[in-house]
């Protein structure tokens, strides 16, 4: 178990130069080991807020605390071994000539010992299933693999907190599922995971907690089930609940409650007879 990492924003206001405020008084706390989805449309402030946590952006008003300490004095690059931020477009961070080199670069730059670098790289290659591709040129890989490489190279700094921007956008179903399985594994090993997403299916299936943003404010913050039932908040955020929930919430009698995911809903239906149910995935 990796202990005690948390993120806190206190009364944060932020505006991009010459524009309306992108964050309007945001207060939020994310405890160690949580799996949180930061949800909203483009322009809701979700990415802006996330970028505050590793110092890419600095609040106009208010404070940001990581692991209990204010980060106002600390540089992004120095925070990389506490909090890792993975960009939506993997191609923006890949620059090495082989997959292994890409992963090694961060820790080597940090002065980690040669043996430790090799060991870490090996573990990460296995984790993201790129062991066989270790000597390949990164841009010869498919998009999903490059995305996993990007995550691995951020993880090489061994951060306790991981923020991933749009893990599934641009990927097909299998690609997205593989990415989320990786997120789940990372969470299981004790890391705090924050994913920025607008995919409500992902939220339903993976997140313990969903923080929904609109217009620079948090409009609702709770479990996916709680959030999906808050019609007013969802309307304000202009988001739709997953199809499965659209169906189950109208007929809880048929589904034995209001399951959020299609797998749960299907199982609920099939258990109404003696036919055994198998899983969708």
Partner 1 sequence: MRLAELSDVGFRYRDTTESALDGVSLTIDDGEVIGLAGPTGAGKTTLCMALVGLVPHATGGVLAGSVRIGGRESASSSLGELLTPLDADRALVAVTFQDPESQIVGMTVEEDLAFGAENLGVRRDEIRRRIDESLDFVRLGHLREAFPYALSGGQKQRVAIAAALVMRPRLLILDEPTSELDPHGRAEIFELIGRLASTGDYAVVVVEHALDDLAAAVDRLIILEAGRIVFDDRPDHVLRKVDRLIEIGVRPPDASVLGLAAEQVGLIAPTDRAFVTPDELLEAFPR
Partner 2 sequence: MTQSFRLYEPGSSFLYRLDPRVKLIGVFAIFFLSILFTDPRFLAPVFLGVLGLIVAGHVPMRRVALMLRSLAILVAIALILWPLIYQKGPVITTILGFKITEGGLFYGGGMAFRILDMVVAPIALFLTTTQPDFIAGLRRLGLPYKASFALATALRFLPTIVGVGQSIVEAQRSRGLDPSRGSPLRRMKSYARILGPLMITSIRIAQQLVLAVEAKAFSINRPRTFYRELRFDTHDYVALSVIGLICCVALAVRVLGYGVL
Q: Which residues of the chain form contacts with partner 1 (CB under 8 A)?
A: 41-43, 142-144, 169-175, 198, 238-240, 242-244, 246-247, 250-251, 254, 262, 265-266, 269-270, 272-273, 275, 280-281
> Rounded to the nearest whole angstrom, what is the least distance from the CB of residue 257 to partner 1 in the complex?
14
Partner interacting with residue 240 (select from partner 2, partner 1, none; CB below 5-8 Å by kind): partner 1
Nearest distance in Å: CB 71, partner 1: 28
Looking at the DSSP assignment, which residues form a beta bridge with residue 257? none
- Does position 112 interact with partner 2 (CB under 8 A)? The reply is no
- Asked if 93 is part of the footprint of partner 2 (rule: CB under 8 A), the reply reads yes
Greatest distance between any 2 Cα atoms in the chain: 64
Structure tokens at 210: 């969903």
Closest CA relative to residue 26, chosen from 196, 198, 215, 197 = 215
One of 31, 56, 118, 185 touching partner 2 (CB under 8 A): 56
Choose from partner 1, partner 2, none: what does 128 bind? Cβ within 5-8 Å by kind. none
Task: Mark the segment that binds partner 2 (CB under 8 A) among 102-110, 124-132, 225-233, 247-255.
Answer: 102-110
For position 128 contacting partner 2 by CB under 8 A, the verdict is no
**Contact between 60 and partner 2 (CB under 8 A)?**
no
Output DSSP code: residue 260: S
Of the residues 2, 28, 65, 94, which one makes contact with partner 2 according to CB under 8 A:
94
* 240-248 CB contacts, 8 Å cutoff, 24+ apart: 240/200, 241/200, 242/200, 242/201, 242/204, 244/204, 245/204
Is the CB of 161 or the CB of 171 nearer to partner 1?
A: 171
Using the rule CB under 8 A, is 223 a contact of partner 2? no
What values do phi and psi take at 31, rounded to 5? Answer: -80, 165
Q: Is 81 exposed, middle or buried (0-12, 13-18, 19+ CB in 10 A)?
A: middle
Of 169, 152, 161, 223, residue with least CA distance to 191: 161
Q: Does 109 bind partner 2 (CB under 8 A)?
A: yes
Task: Give the Cα separation of 88 and 249 in Å (integer).
Answer: 33
């Amino acid at each position: 178990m990796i202990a005690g990492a948390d993120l806190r924003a206190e009364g944060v206001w932020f505006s991009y130069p010459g524009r309306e405020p992108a964050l309007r008084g945001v207060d939020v706390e994310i405890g160690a080991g949580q799996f949180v989805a930061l949800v909203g449309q483009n322009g809701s402030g979700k990415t802006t807020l996330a970028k505050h946590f590793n110092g890419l952006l600095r609040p106009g008003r208010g404070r940001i605390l990581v692991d209990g300490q204010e980060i106002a004095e600390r540089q992004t690059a120095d925070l990389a071994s506490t909090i890792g931020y993975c960009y939506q477009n993997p191609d923006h961070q890949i620059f090495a000539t082989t997959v292994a080199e890409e992963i090694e670069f961060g820790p080597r730059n940090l002065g980690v010992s040669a043996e430790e670098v090799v060991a870490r790289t090996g573990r990460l290659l296995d984790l993201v299933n790129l062991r066989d591709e270790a000597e390949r040129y990164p841009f010869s890989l498919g998009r999903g693999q490059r995305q996993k490489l990007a995550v691995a190279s951020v993880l090489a700094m061994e951060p306790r907190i991981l923020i991933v921007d749009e893990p599934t956008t641009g990927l097909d179903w299998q690609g997205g599922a593989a990415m989320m399985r990786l997120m789940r594994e990372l969470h299981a090993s004790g890391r705090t995971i924050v994913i920025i997403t607008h995919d409500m299916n992902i939220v339903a299936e993976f997140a313990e907690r969903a923080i929904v943003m609109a217009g620079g404010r948090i409009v609702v913050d709770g479990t996916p089930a709680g959030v999906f039932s808050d019609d007013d908040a969802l309307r304000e955020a202009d988001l739709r609940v997953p199809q499965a929930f659209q169906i189950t919430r109208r007929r809880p009698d048929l589904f034995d409650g209001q399951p959020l995911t299609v797998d749960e809903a299907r199982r609920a239906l099939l258990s109404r007879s003696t036919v055994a149910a198998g899983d969708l995935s």
